[in-house]
Structure 1
């Protein structure tokens, strides 16, 4: 990804940056977000209300060491304003190009990619420093510890209804990409679906949904639709419908 560091060193980022875009529909419009790479680990489970705790992934500490806020760029008064703020705060200032800023969902994905690259550059530029989110006494990553991105946080805070709605859109995108041989889009959609899968119950069988969506055959399309309907039926606690769908899945697979 092409990141133009107008302030700061691209090979040694500071760990906090203003990232701005211009709107392809109106180049005079400037929108921005703020990237932060935390020097300490944060256990999200300490701060999430109990009724949301179940939305966090199980099997490890919910650690957030890098994030962008707002998750999609918001309009700012001017480019000059960003320059003055970056200078006053000592921030990196990064121009990330012209984008269709009205597409908030797409821009959240773009921000996630930028955050990942910024974090990689930070780690490469400071090899003698502790890894991002680690204490000075633990300079190596803990095997199996989850790594969180902006998308992870967004999906964790969604209701299951919203998660299933997102899965429905991603399934359609994945089917279209798989049938058309668009490996990049298929890989991106698969990654988003796996990220959502980490925040829903295992019995939703999202892995099987992904496998079916990647299958270009008519059987794959039917199975993908059935797995989606099954996930919705489980969410609604319509167990008679779940039983009927399980039988339908068995018939299609036989």
Structure 2
């Protein structure tokens, strides 16, 4: 499933997030952990005695100064409801991320927390890197002379740096977020998500039918969910030049729209 942002912006992660995952056997059971990406890269081995540092694999030492996410606690734990976690994220201004479903097995919950923390850290690293690149551009080339710096749309600039595949991946995440908002009848989240999908759709070539994806994703009907999935599938087939698969998808779209 990957990370779905229920609160926050995947294009500009804060560096601290509450992760939630549901039990596969009982959807009412919610597991959670807190992911933290230190603002200053550090090497744990630097602070260990030589005897202990020698036990750390060399590949970990080589990448020790890279940005990494740390789940705290290191395993998804049961104990708080979704409503409590949503309120907590709001009060603390944390990102809130749905990372899918898991079992009651401790090893799986630990692995899931670790993997998703690294995925979140990569999103954060991408954001920081892109923001630094934008800030290094000559002022006269980056902004019009009459435009104050605080009026710049940083998110728009970041989105323009993404490849078509990355843009489609973000659209897919936002479609999932829109369906989540519809199911929870969260109007504010739905409006914000629709705005972000529309912004991304405008940056995609017309052949991907971005406006149709937006319309389907925000439709309250089950048919809307299926259409959004089909439109996304069609977009990826176009991107990967798998043209033989497209007629079947087009037929399925027509049947749903009849």
Q: TM-score, normalised by structure 1?
A: 0.45
Which structure shows the higher helix fraction?
Answer: 2
